[in-house]
Amino acid sequence: MLTTRGVTLVSTLVFMFIVIILVSIASLTSLSNRRNAQDALRTSQAQFAAEAGLERAVARLWHQVLANATSRSVTAYAAELNRIGLSNGATIASLFGDPQNLGDGSSFVVQVSRQDDTSTDPDAIVLTVTSTGTLADGTTRRLRQVFRVDRAFFPFDYALLTNNAECVFCHLDIKSMDALRGNPNPNDPSTWWRRAKVGVLESLIMRDDEEAGVVHGSLVTRGTISRQYSGAVGPSNRYYTTMNPGDTRIRSTTLITATPADCSTPSNCTTPQNLYYNYPDSSNLAAFGNRFPDGELPDRFPLPIPDTNNNRLIDDAEWNAEVSSSLAGTNESYSAGTLRAAMVLNPSGGVAWPGGSAVQTRTSADLGQNPTNVLLDGSVIPIELSGTVFINGDVVLRGFVRGSGTLLARGNLYVMGDLTYDCGTGSTLVPCDYSNPSRLPQLNLIAGGNLAVGDFMTVQSDIESLTEEQMLSTRSNQPTISFCRENPTNAACYPEERPRPNLALTEIANFNRRELQRYLRDNSYRPRLYTFGENQVYFAAGCSHQPQRYAEYSTITAGARVSFCRGDTVLSSTTLTAEQAQSILARAARYEVTSSTFTNAILKNLWANSMNARGTGPLRTDGLLYSANAIFGLAQRKYTKLGGRWDLRGALVAADTGILVPGPGGSSSGLTIYHDNRLRPRVPGGQQAQLRRGIWEVIGQ
């Protein structure tokens, strides 16, 4: 029988045993935790070494390679990678040779593999970097990161970029593609729109007494803004914006009057403004901290094809150099591409849209090296474009477009119908979701000559006697000025009491007058002159910007008077001498707006076919419209299917802009530009490489 003393002894022994077990467990746990902590510390130290290898790889593969390249372009970057032995498909087992020792005794080895992504336009360089960090005791950590080097956006981020513009601001509405998601809520930053910007390098003329448009962002000018009739400096009193000075995004659609900021006093332009005067060029940025106040505005109009001899024409040598370098894969702006579409090459006789027939696949080798005029129809089977396709002639097109690429015509480019993106595959047409621009196709339409959209062929659009059927008839096409001067009773010239040319001819005469004024101020200047269906060059002899009677336009001959103006008021005038007239015509670069292959009669029939096949709604165009010279565009108000409306989802870039889209009437907008900032003019030297680093991942100890 146990005594009380025995029970106590047993209890004590049990308690001591439990304590010993607990202490042992605690000791083992502590030891294990210390060991785990030490292991984790060593692993972390090895990871730090591996991370150091990744950073050293950035310095070597990005900064050093780019510094040694001949330019900051992707093409030059790829060539430098090739030179150091990292060509496409190659692997360098140890980028730095022997393991690189760090100060704490750890080291790293970096392996890099290159596998370019050819699914994009243009190709992207993809580098897979594996860095192994090692400690002195052998602990290792391996990290992997993907570097992607591709082409950054070209620099000029403008919905409309031009030297000179007339009429285009009448009933204009410019906003970013964000607007297609809905209106911004001032209290919800996630709904605010990106700013849209308009850049004017020389002159912008707005009408005094009509709707002068809205820019949901900034109007950036280096030249002059003036009112058409009075000549007063500044925008129309009916020009509006929705951007408050100092804001970087659009918070509301409430219209406000623009507030001019004159950058000739640099302190005026330290924060984003909605209207800039005297915006600096690259030669006078010192007062702005050696940077543009609100993004780059080019010093001069960016040409799509370099004019190496400064004659304002695309010579054979200049054209062939771009085509050849593109096909060779060395062109930094235009990667070689393919075009698949229903097309007719060098049409003759009766020209009609091919519909879904005559589908072909072509490249710049087929279309860019010899003179070729092309008719493209995407109305049944979408036009598929990748990369850049050069066409050595004139181009007419309409329909649906897929893919991402550039169509560059040496001559004129005519859009004769709706031209919109399609997001389907195969034979299935699928409308695109424009609220997510990153998933949309990309179309760049570039004309080395002129670019025309819509019915620029018809006589003056506000003549009430024309029926819609007559507007689509070739009998209502605009004759030349010479014809109408010689045939004053012809119905096409004098249909009513107001005998005057249409928009295209009026703008041509106004642009030519400006070029003559510039030459007379500086006779070393080489004018750019436009013609319409004839060799004679006509200009507006007075100061009006409105259409005038045909007899009031002059040719460049001895005795012709050139006026210098403030608005519609003549300040002075000069009478051309025979020597001056001869010099002007000899020096000038001439650009014909009409086409010898696609005559205005052919274009009218193609346009009529497109209009008869469509429903009611604004004319639709997707993509960048870019002309080295002039863009002409017209949507007739009287033609009820369009109602004077044009919806452009992309951007406009042209040296001279002659567009009139008056809207259905009242204060309604006519031309609405939804700016797609992915689409920018591809200027020589403007293409820059950019590095995108993926998130690194652990792939082993």
Residues ≥6 apart with Cβ < 8 Å to 321: none
Contact yes or no for 114/87 (Cβ under 8 A): yes
678 located within any domain = no
The pLDDT, as a whole number, for residue 36 is 52
Q: What is the mean pLDDT of residues 607-622?
A: 97
- The SS3 of residue 444 is strand
552 located within any domain = yes
d(CA 134, CA 685): 43
The pLDDT, as a whole number, for residue 350 is 86
Domain match, 345 and 417 both = yes
Q: Is the pLDDT of residue 588 over 90?
A: yes
Domain match, 356 and 445 both = yes
542 located within any domain = yes
- Rounded to whole angstroms, what are the CA distances from 36 to 25, 30, 133, 139, 697? 16, 10, 19, 13, 22
Q: What is the mean pLDDT of residues 443-461?
A: 92
71 located within any domain = yes
Domain match, 240 and 178 both = yes
Give the domain-ending residue among 301, 333, 354.
301
Q: What is the pLDDT of residues 632-658, one digit of tens each?
A: 999 988 889 999 999 999 999 999 999
The pLDDT, as a whole number, for residue 492 is 80
Domain match, 448 and 342 both = yes
Domain match, 324 and 426 both = yes
Mean of the per-residue pLDDT values of the chain: 90
Q: Is the pLDDT of residue 379 over 70?
A: yes
375 located within any domain = yes
308 located within any domain = no
Output DSSP code: residue 462. Answer: T
Can you give the pTM of this predicted structure? 0.85
Copy the structure tokens of residue 517: 């004024």
Q: Are β-strands 359-363 and 338-345 bridged in parallel, bridged antiparallel, or unpaired?
A: antiparallel
Q: Is the pLDDT of residue 372 over 60?
A: yes
The pLDDT, as a whole number, for residue 686 is 66
The pLDDT, as a whole number, for residue 159 is 96
Domain match, 410 and 439 both = yes
Domain ranges, residue 138: 40-153+688-700
Domain match, 183 and 286 both = yes
Domain match, 514 and 562 both = yes
Give the domain-ending residue among 591, 609, 643.
591
The pLDDT, as a whole number, for residue 152 is 74
* Selection from 28-37, 446-455, 562-571 with the highest mean pLDDT: 446-455
Domain match, 327 and 423 both = yes
d(CA 18, CA 10): 12
The pLDDT, as a whole number, for residue 697 is 85
The pLDDT, as a whole number, for residue 684 is 67
First-last CA distance in the chain: 64
Share of the chain above pLDDT 90, in %: 66
Q: Nearest 5°: phi and psi at 569?
A: -95, 130
Domain match, 291 and 332 both = no
409 located within any domain = yes
Q: What is the pLDDT of residues 76-131, one digit of tens each?
A: 888 899 999 999 999 999 999 999 998 888 898 999 999 988 766 567 899 999 99
Domain match, 169 and 275 both = yes
Q: What is the mean pLDDT of residues 416-434?
A: 95
Share of the chain above pLDDT 70, in %: 92
Contact yes or no for 439/424 (Cβ under 8 A): no
Q: Is the pLDDT of residue 456 over 80?
A: yes
Q: Is the pLDDT of residue 34 over 60?
A: no
Q: Which of 35-49, 147-161, 214-228, 454-468 has the lowest mean pLDDT?
A: 35-49
Domain match, 527 and 499 both = yes
Give the domain-ending residue among 542, 560, 591.
591
Q: Is the pLDDT of residue 339 over 80?
A: yes
Instruction: Please count the structural domains in the chain.
Output: 4
199 located within any domain = yes
